[in-house]
């Protein structure tokens, strides 16, 4: 989650630079989940790609779309957020708890946490 906040902070600076240069700004959002995954190189010698698969990866992809619905920069599951807090994570901005959200492609409602804009250090 610290890395997700850092990515969003860095991208905000880049977007501001683009705007100042008369270019179209953009906004980056990040989704974070935890869980078992399988990772490695897949393919053959003509086309080899590094990939990650698993339920946590699939959920992260769905949460990435949910970022637009929630108008959030960083979106994570409550379970992941609480695990990070137990490890000493403190959000730089505010953390909005979003209970029982319907996420497209997920059968059951999911408890989420949105980390809102962070202050620059």
pLDDT digits (tens, 9 = 90+) for 15-71: 889 999 999 988 889 999 999 999 999 888 899 999 999 999 999 999 999 999 999
Q: Is the pTM of this model over 0.75?
A: yes
Give the C-alpha distances (Å, rounded to integers) separating 32 from 22, 39, 52, 68, 75.
32, 16, 14, 15, 6
- Count Cβ atoms below 10 Å from residue 78 Cβ, excluding itself: 14
Residue 93 has pLDDT above 50, yes or no: yes
| Residue 119 pLDDT class (50, 70, 90 cuts) | very low
Which ranges constitute the DSSP H helices of 1-121?
2-20, 55-70, 78-86
| Mean pLDDT, the chain, whole residue set | 92
Q: What are phi and psi of 18, to 5 degrees?
A: -65, -45
The predicted structure's pLDDT at residue 98: 97
Task: Tell me which long-range contacts 91-95 makes (C-beta under 8 A, separation of at least 24).
Answer: 91/1, 91/5, 91/115, 91/118, 92/5, 92/118, 92/119, 92/121, 93/5, 93/117, 93/118, 93/119
Contacts of 3 (CB under 8 A, 6+ apart): none
Which ranges constitute the DSSP H helices of 21-115?
55-70, 78-86
| Residue 120 pLDDT class (50, 70, 90 cuts) | very low
């Amino acid at each position: 989650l610290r890395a997700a906040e850092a990515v969003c902070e860095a991208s905000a600076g880049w977007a501001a630079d683009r705007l100042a240069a008369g270019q179209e700004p953009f906004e980056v959002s990040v989704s974070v989940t935890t869980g078992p995954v399988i990772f490695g190189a897949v393919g053959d010698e003509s086309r080899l790609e590094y990939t990650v698969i698993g339920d946590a990866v699939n959920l992260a992809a769905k949460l990435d779309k949910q970022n637009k619905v929630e108008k959030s920069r960083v979106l994570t599951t409550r379970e992941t957020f609480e695990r990070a807090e137990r490890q000493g994570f403190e959000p730089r901005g505010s953390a909005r708890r979003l209970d029982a959200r319907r996420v497209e492609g997920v059968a059951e409602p999911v408890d989420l946490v949105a980390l809102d804009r962070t202050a620059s250090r």
